[in-house]
Amino acid sequence: MKPDVIVIDTNPYKDDKPKIKVLPLVPETHPALKMKLKEFDFRNPPIDPDFLASSLVETCKSHDGLGLSANQCGYEYRVFVAGHGDNFVSFFNPKVVWQSEEQIKMEEGCLSFKHLFIPVKRPYSVEIEYQDFTGKPHQAKFSGLTARCILHELDHLNGILYTSKVKPMTLLVGMKKRNKVLSLEKKNASKLA
């Protein structure tokens, strides 16, 4: 004889929590890309922070990116994600507290500017304060490519595009290379159709 068992499901999100999805990227001319974004308010969240962070990660992964800011998907909050593979971190309301004097110039790309790679000079190391998707504060130091990615995404949150960090001639050369790649892509796509 089986005893009566009452099962209580205490998961408040069982039916309400939205499914994680890949978000559309806004076009490179979208005004949100040039806006300084407002802080994410954890006391009165405008959107579920876990859903936002997870969606940004899935979107970044689907485009083989290393980082993605909320405004690249049309959300006007100080949030970005950065990482690789299954190791992504969400950064809510990040602030630079220190950056190295040593700077490194490397080619950078951006998911908002398909195939545009230009050499940008940035600090080699950076230390930032931020909150995770639960609102818990953190402070961490990053170097190399991770620091570059974080600084690139932080620029997005301040409405600064990497295209503004180079001389006009450098940007022009990058745009010419980009246009060749886009033209070749278009030509190859028409052959397949």
Active-site residue numbers?
Answer: 153
> CA end-to-end span of the chain, whole Å?
66
Q: What is the DSSP letter of 171?
A: H
What 3-state class would DSSP assign to 148?
Answer: helix
CA dist 168 → 57, 103, 147, 154, 164 (Å): 32, 21, 25, 22, 9
Q: Residue with structure tokens 């080699």?
A: 124
